[in-house]
């Protein structure tokens, strides 16, 4: 019973927070609500026995990506944002489309059958700590995708520098 109450609290708060994120007029408020949402997601990961991912969520998403968003919003200084129209004119069509996709997903979930379970039970992970287990899988079975991920980050760094560089005047 208690886990269901916890999950109910988290799901209600997370849905309300995500609606707040997409409806606020001021982008700074959206970023701050998103910070609260990321803390709740990290707590949900703890609930699912993924403590390393919970730490990564806090450090990377709440610590790095959101600060980048906040930095850019503060730098751009959007004054006319507070008076401009928030949504495009055809918003009822978008909401109807979203609700219909939600119906599709609901029917798909009702046909859901769980597959066979793997070897990483909670006891097996507890025997040699979660971080060690996940590192073993990541650096043996998924080594090649890991290298591709590092390449993607390198390309992102180079692309951001090229875009932000000032154009040098001729001569």
**Residues in 61-120 at the binding interface with another protein, rule: CB under 8 A:** 61, 64-65, 68-69, 72-73, 75-76, 78, 81, 84-88, 91, 94-95, 97-99, 101-102, 105-106, 109, 112, 114-120
- How far is the C-alpha of 142 from the C-alpha of 144, rounded, in Å? 6
Minimum distance, C-beta of residue 168 to another protein, in the bound complex (Å): 15
Q: How far apart are the first and last CA of the chain?
A: 74
| Measured distance CA(94)–CA(57) in Å, rounded | 30
The answer to whether residues 31 and 73 touch, using CB atoms and an 8 Å cutoff, is yes
Q: How many residues does the chain have?
A: 171
For 121, counting Cβ atoms within 10 Å of its Cβ (0-12 exposed, 13-18 middle, 19+ buried), the class is exposed
Please, which of residues 2-41 interact with another protein by CB under 8 A?
3-4, 7, 11, 14-15, 18-19, 21-22, 27, 30-31, 34, 37-38, 41
CB of 114 to another protein, least distance (A): 7
Tokens of 19: 């609606």
Name which position in 107, 143, 153, 171 contacts another protein (CB under 8 A).
Answer: 153
Closer to another protein at the Cβ: 83 or 171? Answer: 83
Cα 70 from Cα 62, distance rounded (Å): 11
Among 9, 49, 74, 132, binds another protein (CB under 8 A): 49
Judged by CB, which is closer to another protein: 127, or 156?
A: 156
Binding footprint of another protein, residue count (CB under 8 A): 81
**Closest distance between another protein and the C-beta of residue 58, in Å?**
12
Q: Burial letters for 90-120: b for 16+ Cβ neighbours within 10 Å, e otherwise? A: eeeeeeeeeeeeeeeeeeeeeeeeeeeeeee
Please report how close the Cβ of residue 4 comes to another protein at its closest, in angstroms.
6
What is the nearest approach in angstroms of another protein to the Cβ of residue 169?
15
């Amino acid at each position: 019973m208690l886990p269901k109450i916890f999950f109910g609290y988290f799901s209600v708060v997370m849905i309300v927070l995500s609606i707040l994120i997409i409806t606020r007029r001021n982008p700074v408020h959206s970023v701050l609500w998103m910070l609260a949402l990321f803390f709740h997601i990290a707590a949900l990961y703890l609930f699912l026995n993924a403590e390393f991912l919970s730490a990564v969520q806090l450090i990377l998403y709440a610590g790095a990506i959101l600060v980048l968003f906040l930095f850019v919003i503060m730098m751009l200084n959007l004054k006319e944002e507070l008076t401009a129209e928030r949504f495009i004119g055809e918003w009822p069509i978008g909401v109807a489309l979203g609700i219909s996709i939600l119906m599709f997903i609901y029917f798909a979930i009702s046909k859901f059958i769980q597959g066979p379970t793997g070897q990483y039970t909670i006891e097996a992970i507890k025997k040699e700590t979660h971080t060690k287990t996940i590192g073993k899988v990541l650096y043996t079975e998924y080594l090649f995708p890991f290298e591709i991920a590092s390449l993607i980050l390198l390309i992102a760094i180079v692309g951001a520098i090229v875009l932000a560089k000032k154009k040098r005047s001729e001569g």
